[in-house]
Structure 1
Amino acid sequence: MATKLDYYAVLEVTREASGDELKKAYRRLAMKYHPDRNPGDASAENRFKEISEAYDILKDDQKRSAYDRYGHAAFEGGGGGFDFNGGGGFGAGGLGDIFEQMFGDMMGGGRRAKRAGADIQTQVEITLAEAFSGVKKTVTVTTRVVCEACEGTGSKDREAGVETCPSCHGAGKVRAQQGFFVVERPCPTCHGAGRVVKDPCVSCHGAGTVQRARTLDVAIPAGVEDGTRIRMTGEGESGGKGVAPGDLYVHISVAQHELFQRDGSNIYCRVPLRMAQAALGADIEVPVIDGGRASVKIPAGTQNGEHFRLRGKGFSVLRSSSRGDMYIQVSVETPQNLTKRQRELLEEFETEAGEHTKGSPEHAGFFSRVKDFFDGTKG
């Protein structure tokens, strides 16, 4: 069995990394090594699988705790290890399964390991507008499917050439005593299949599965966030006849938008204003993520960086009909390339402003403090 790298090292983070740090590291590395960006590069594909596996464990607090305590052993073995996929509790077998996995024959165990085909992963990039409204995307994945020639048995003569594994007696796993504990591992003879093939199928060479490209439709719900993982049960690799297929995990990447920035269910939009608009006030129209428009009243004397809130104009909330809010951030723009008349008007304005400082209280206050500072230095 190949030695697995430390999950923290795979994601290039420390063991004290926060959830946000893990997420950022995963996104960066997944984009770098994704098979679609590295066609034909087997090492990049393997690296992508390592990254996805590491993040799948470390992003879950319970799995991460088990990994920190027991390492990879917490998740190894065909059906052994701990299963945290039950919504925060233990796996479907509950505590009985855990004691059986830990103490084996001492607890009177001996049930056959549950087997399934391998899980596979792919990535889909969508626009911010598609994430807002939801979208259906078509993905093509290369995976293993049941061999039609042998109907998944792996045998040239189908059932006639398949026998129960003599090493594990069909269990698909073997046990070894390690001090007080009994540890289960996949059977080395049948590799967890529980059976051996004497006369292999010429199409699949005894595997019972062959590699094929498949096209699937993925329904992406409204409100989905960047980095979300969608699980498609049973759409992964086939494990052969009598074995449940694995799952397909679709990682969602949301592209940046040229106007909007998203923060959870809220949307931010930076709107530049001319100096006169900010000083005199104005009524402006701004775009909304749903494709509509919204009117915003800018009061006279608006300062650079001020925010205006538009309730219910934000992003869709996942699995809900409600929406967040939209925030308009004002950016007051200084005019450039002035005409002669514009310059004259601004010079006249500046002369008038110098005589009436109430219109710029922050400016007047700052330079008043500057004067006091220099006067104190001289004293």
Structure 2
Amino acid sequence: MADHYDVLGVSRDASADEIKKAYRRLARELHPDVNPGADASEKFKAVTHAYDVLSDPEQRQRYDLGDAGGFGGGAGGAGFSGFGDIFDSFFGGGTQRGPRSRRERGQDALLRVEVDLDEVIFGTHRDLEVDTAVVCGTCNGSCCQPGTSPVTCDVCRGAGQIQRTVRSLLGNVVTASPCGTCRGYGTVIPNPCLTCSGQGRVRARRTVPVDIPAGVDTGLRLQMPGSGEVGPAGGPNGDLFLEIKVRNNDDFSRDGDDLLCTLEVPMTDAVFGAEASIPGLDGNVDLEVRAGVQSGEILTVRGRGITKLRGQGRGDLRIGIQVVTPTKLDHKERELLEKFAKGRKQAGPQLASFHQGIFSKLRDRFRG
């Protein structure tokens, strides 16, 4: 019997890839459909058998140790069908072998959750009502009526696939496709569960408890592994994603981890100074407005902003001052203000430098 390595024209230390390339080249040259000579047919059988042995690591090891027969009982035993099955692995192999499982992973779900700005400061809890798929309580995911079970498919005999041999220029090519009777599962369910119609799951509403961390912002997505819908036949749950939307607040806005607000100060308080207490999102905030405060100035209260999402501590509360000029004065108030103005002897309105003006202050109002 000729040496298998000599038949393929490779060295004894050739790699698996080198053996495969050599076989493919010789198979194309010697196949009976391409080369009808009797000598070529015998060589083709020898090449095919040599590849069958050397392409399998265990058989190659036995062959190298002296077992010349390999598998299949000789060169003639391989025939054309073995060549076709090998070519199927070259040209279109990768088809799933064996039946597929009915149990599959469930789909992921996305929910949009709205929270108030005050809930963002320290985080909050939600019990979300979710319309999703859950395991069927009747069959417990088996898809069968209680007391019954799936049976082996008579068509594919449990393989889940139907093989067909197609004769081509290069020989018999074996192709496989999912069985149409069992849809590739290898089994059929003669008595499907009446509750879930053989799906192993039903639609239901369930409550999902969610702890929303402090510091979240609009557009952030939180992932809850295993909280999505259950898969077919009781397969593992998918994931639940929560997309956060923070509702607008009438008094406060957000700049990163800082809270921003505007404090209207009467003109007299701006002149003489005053103490104030404003309702913050997490309790009252006591302030001291200094005498002579100007519109556009910022008062900063440290540590009264939003808790940092990834870190420690909180941002600040920044309060923009807006001095309010009275628009309606009685006769006595007007006399007092006129007397005050004459006593000040100030120059009339005049143009201010842009960098000192109100537009510059508004632009930089909450930058810090």
TM-score normalised by L of structure 1 = 0.55
1:238 aligned partner, one-letter code:
V
Structure showing greater relative contact order (alpha-carbon pairs closer than 8 Å, 6 or more residues apart): 2
The separation in 2 between residues aligned to 1:294 and 1:194, in whole angstroms, is 74
Structure 1 residues 198 and 135: alpha-carbon distance in aligned structure 2, compared to 1, 3 A threshold: same
Deviation at 1:365, TM superposition (A): 3.7
Q: 1:308 aligns with which of 285, 299, 306?
A: 299
2:274 is the counterpart of 1:282: yes
The separation in 2 between residues aligned to 1:244 and 1:318, in whole angstroms, is 30
Provide the residue aligned with 2:118 in structure 1: 129
Provide the residue aligned with 2:105 in structure 1: 116
2:130 is the counterpart of 1:141: yes
Q: 2:150 aligns with which of 146, 151, 161?
A: 161
Provide the residue aligned with 2:239 in structure 1: 247
The separation in 2 between residues aligned to 1:193 and 1:259, in whole angstroms, is 61
Deviation at 1:327, TM superposition (A): 0.7
Does the aligned pair in 1 maintain the 2:298–2:320 contact within 8 Å?
A: yes
Bigger radius of gyration: 2
1:261 aligned partner, one-letter code:
S
Per-residue CA distance 1:100-148 (angstroms, 9 max, x = gap): xxx9987968587994101223233222222111121111111111112
SS at structure 2 position matched to 1:160: coil
Structure 1 residues 149 and 115: alpha-carbon distance in aligned structure 2, compared to 1, 3 A threshold: closer
Q: 1:232 aligns with which of 224, 231, 245?
A: 224
The separation in 2 between residues aligned to 1:264 and 1:191, in whole angstroms, is 54
Structure 1 residues 264 and 346: alpha-carbon distance in aligned structure 2, compared to 1, 3 A threshold: same
Which ranges of structure 2 fall in alignment gaps of 5 or more residues? 1-88, 162-177, 354-368
Does the aligned pair in 2 maintain the 1:168–1:187 contact within 8 Å?
A: no
Provide the residue aligned with 1:211 in structure 2: 203
1:290 aligned partner, one-letter code:
D
Deviation at 1:222, TM superposition (A): 1.6
SS at structure 2 position matched to 1:235: coil
Deviation at 1:317, TM superposition (A): 0.4
Does the aligned pair in 2 maintain the 1:284–1:298 contact within 8 Å?
A: no
Deviation at 1:310, TM superposition (A): 2.0
Deviation at 1:244, TM superposition (A): 1.0
108-117 or 201-210, which deviates more: 108-117
Does the aligned pair in 2 maintain the 1:157–1:199 contact within 8 Å?
A: no
SS at structure 2 position matched to 1:129: helix
1:130 aligned partner, one-letter code:
E
Higher helix share: 1
Deviation at 1:267, TM superposition (A): 0.5
The separation in 2 between residues aligned to 1:187 and 1:143, in whole angstroms, is 31
The separation in 2 between residues aligned to 1:192 and 1:331, in whole angstroms, is 73
Structure 1 residues 256 and 364: alpha-carbon distance in aligned structure 2, compared to 1, 3 A threshold: same
336-345 or 263-272, which deviates more: 336-345
2:122 aligned partner, one-letter code:
S
CA RMSD of aligned residues (A): 3.7
1:268 aligned partner, one-letter code:
L
Structure 1 residues 154 and 269: alpha-carbon distance in aligned structure 2, compared to 1, 3 A threshold: same
Deviation at 1:205, TM superposition (A): 1.0
Provide the residue aligned with 1:346 in structure 2: 337
Query: How many residue pairs get matched?
Result: 246
Does the aligned pair in 2 maintain the 1:286–1:296 contact within 8 Å?
A: no
After superposition, where does 1:3-22 map in structure 2 within 5 Å?
A: none
Provide the residue aligned with 1:200 in structure 2: 192
The separation in 1 between residues aligned to 2:291 and 2:179, in whole angstroms, is 75
Per-residue CA distance 1:291-332 (angstroms, 9 max, x = gap): 1423234341x2222212222221110143311111110111
Which ranges of structure 1 fall in alignment gaps of 5 or more residues? 1-102, 172-185, 368-379
Does the aligned pair in 2 maintain the 1:144–1:210 contact within 8 Å?
A: yes
Structure 1 residues 327 and 156: alpha-carbon distance in aligned structure 2, compared to 1, 3 A threshold: same
Provide the residue aligned with 1:150 in structure 2: 139
Does the aligned pair in 2 maintain the 1:153–1:240 contact within 8 Å?
A: no
Which runs of at least 4 in structure 1 moved beyond 4 Å after TM superposition? 103-114, 162-171, 186-196
Structure 1 residues 270 and 191: alpha-carbon distance in aligned structure 2, compared to 1, 3 A threshold: farther
The separation in 2 between residues aligned to 1:291 and 1:267, in whole angstroms, is 14
Provide the residue aligned with 1:329 in structure 2: 320
Does the aligned pair in 2 maintain the 1:139–1:216 contact within 8 Å?
A: yes
Deviation at 1:188, TM superposition (A): 9.1
Structure 1 residues 166 and 139: alpha-carbon distance in aligned structure 2, compared to 1, 3 A threshold: farther
Structure 1 residues 158 and 219: alpha-carbon distance in aligned structure 2, compared to 1, 3 A threshold: farther
SS at structure 2 position matched to 1:246: coil
Provide the residue aligned with 1:258 in structure 2: 250
Does the aligned pair in 1 maintain the 2:229–2:238 contact within 8 Å?
A: yes
Structure 1 residues 238 and 312: alpha-carbon distance in aligned structure 2, compared to 1, 3 A threshold: same
